[in-house]
Amino acid sequence: MILPTRRRLIVSCATWEFPKENRKEYPREKKIDSVKRFPQKRKVFPRRKFQLKKFDLNLADTTQLKTIYGIGPVIAKRIITYRTNLGGFILKDQLYENMGIRIPRWSSAWLIKSVIAPDFTPNKLAINRCSEQELAHHPYVRTKLARAIVNYRFQHGNFASIDDLKKIEIMEEKILLRIKPYITLD
């Protein structure tokens, strides 16, 4: 069977072949001795097993965090920045709340070795004296909520207790539970 194309192709035994007059001869490559191509064999280093020591999440610096497999300088810096904005970690799971911090699955084993001191008290915001910008800087309090807190305080006076925050319409119960350890009335 002959098919009409630019080059006439011939089918023989269910394979396509170019006619011999259209075949090009390519020069063969020179054989290179394998010793010249790969002068040395690759060295295989044994895997090191790192002993993770217990460390405090609230006291760790970037150099200590970078020693953990899977955490580089960028993630270490984000963890430190989030910790300072938050006022300190109370729970280990707070690391995963920040969208900028993505801890790989293989390095989550270091969370087991990390500890939070039981006598740790986070930096607290004085809710009766803070400005709107200071409140909005906290990760759990957004700008809209900070504006509502300051406006409520301006209209009704200082808060007598932390539970008075429930009177603000946009304050949800879960947000109040999250910010309770980080606020004070003084």
Q: What is the pLDDT of residues 10-29, one digit of tens each?
A: 444 455 565 666 666 666 65
List, in order, residues 6 or more apart from 153 with CB less than 8 Å away.
Answer: 127, 128, 159
Q: State the DSSP H helix or E strand holding residue 2, giving kind and residue range, or none if neither.
A: strand 2-3
Check the CA dihedral 53-54-57-58 and report its sign: negative
> What pLDDT is stored for residue 88 in this prediction?
93
List, in order, residues 6 or more apart from 185 with CB less than 8 Å away.
Answer: 126, 127, 128, 158, 159, 160, 161, 162
Place of tokens 């490559």: 29
> What pLDDT is stored for residue 64 in this prediction?
87
Percent share of the chain, pLDDT over 70: 65
Statement: residue 1 has pLDDT above 60:
no
Q: What is the dihedral of CA 86, 96, 48, 38, to 10 degrees?
A: -110
3-class SS at 16? strand
pLDDT tens digits for 155-164?
A: 999 999 999 9
- pTM greater than the 0.85 cutoff: no
Look at 49 and 118; give whichever has higher pLDDT.
Answer: 118
Look at 102 and 63; give whichever has higher pLDDT.
Answer: 63
Look at 125 and 34; give whichever has higher pLDDT.
Answer: 125
CA atoms of 133 and 172, how far apart (whole Å): 20
CA 127 to chain centre: 30
> What pLDDT is stored for residue 98 in this prediction?
74
Q: Please state the rounded mean pLDDT for residues 30-42.
A: 55
pLDDT band of residue 97 (cuts 50, 70, 90) is confident
